[in-house]
Amino acid sequence: MLPAHPNVERRNVVINLDHQATTPCHPSVIEAMEPWWREQWGNPSSRQHRLGLTAAAAIGSARERLARSLGIRSEELIFTSGATEANNLALLGHARARALSDGGPGHLISVDSEHHAVLDPLMQLKEEGFQVTLLTPQSNGLIQVEQLDQAIQPNTQLVSVMVANNEIGVIQPIKELSAVCSSQGITMHSDAAQAYGHLPMRAEELGCDLISLSAHKFNGPKGIGALVVRQGTTLQPLQWGGGQEQGLRAGTLPVPLIMGMAAAAELSLLDQKSRQTHLRTLRDQLWQGLKDQNPAIKLNGALQPRLAHNLNITIPGVSGSRLHRALKPRLACSSGSACSRGEPSHVLRAIGRSRNEAEGSLRLSLGRDTTTDEIVAAIEVITSAIKALRQT
């Protein structure tokens, strides 16, 4: 990361603008985890001695703290290895449970621009006999409530729409979509991995029955996440073996990671409003600076409503592979999701970008420690790369 002091040489330092792929673990989070790696190393399922009881009590406390941040009861929070597992448990687990209760596989609805951690489980369910409808977002990345209304069928069982897109950062009208589902007895799931910790989030206000979370998106550790399961929502487990997490997710709970997730959540809430204001200012400075010097660039997705730390742009007429090679020594960014498998962004294709445009796009995502100096430097680096490529 570039130092803040303007007199420090910047040329050999990589500017990190890929915070939607992951975030650095905050020092206070590392400190919160440290005792649970060493002194308090007990298994929370081993409750016949003090080490195990202490670990179990710590898990209970962390669960309660996270639940409080979401406005839910602690028993409505199931720990997982991350949002990918949470999405799989929500979608596979609930769809299969509904198929049993309803007498067979029904109809599922999602959006073309969802993360693969939602799209791939839906494709698995399609193989199992479920009907799947994927809504096409508007050119600004958003879907309309009317689109969902029109897609619902008599046998629709489940709808999944992410709160905030992981590539273009647009924020979907989840509350309104949930209301449509609730009025028709349809379960609503939302992948909130990119939103929790960055946006105010109360489960009751969202109206979702199932919500997926991931700690490493808000300065917590990798390998831990959670699924919110509101009361009355049925799930089939995906794995068996120990009965942990109400029988829905067997396996020894990673106490240090859970303590880290709770600490990161509390940290994110402490300065959420001021941090978002600061990041929005930097993001707008980045967008305006790039646009002023490169008038042909295009914004991907609506500027509002959008995550404050996200900017996604297309640079027309430039080879995507050459652009990314040119930026790599100075700038860490991406052309899409960290899980895109090297293919052009399906999100950008879904909102109407061509393959070449998708390849020539940049996802620039800011973090808690991003500085004004870095934004100024990023504008310079990207502009210089564009000009050099257009001259060759």
Nearest of 247, 284, 262, 141 to residue 197 by alpha carbon: 262
Nearest of 17, 15, 16 to residue 312 by alpha carbon: 17
Distances (CA, A) of 280 to 285, 311, 337, 365, 388: 8, 10, 21, 11, 29
Q: Is the CB of residue 17 less than 8 Å from the CB of residue 370?
A: yes
DSSP code, position 4: S
Place of tokens 């005792």: 35
- Would residue 333 show up in a list of annotated catalytic residues for this protein? no
The side-by-side arrangement of strands in the sheet containing 210-214 is 77-80, 225-229, 210-214, 187-191, 156-160, 107-111, 131-135
Nearest of 172, 259, 195, 175 to residue 223 by alpha carbon: 259
Catalytic residue among 25, 208, 333, 339: 339
**Measured on CA atoms in the order 47, 49, 54, 57, is the torsion positive or negative?**
positive
DSSP bridge pairs for 117: none
- Which residues, in sequence order, are CB contacts of 194 under 8 Å at separation 6+? 20, 162, 163, 164, 165, 166, 169, 217, 307
Structure tokens at 334: 């991406």
Give the three-class secondary structure for 6: coil
How many H-runs (helices) and E-runs (strands) does the chain carry? 13, 12
Residues tagged active-site: 339
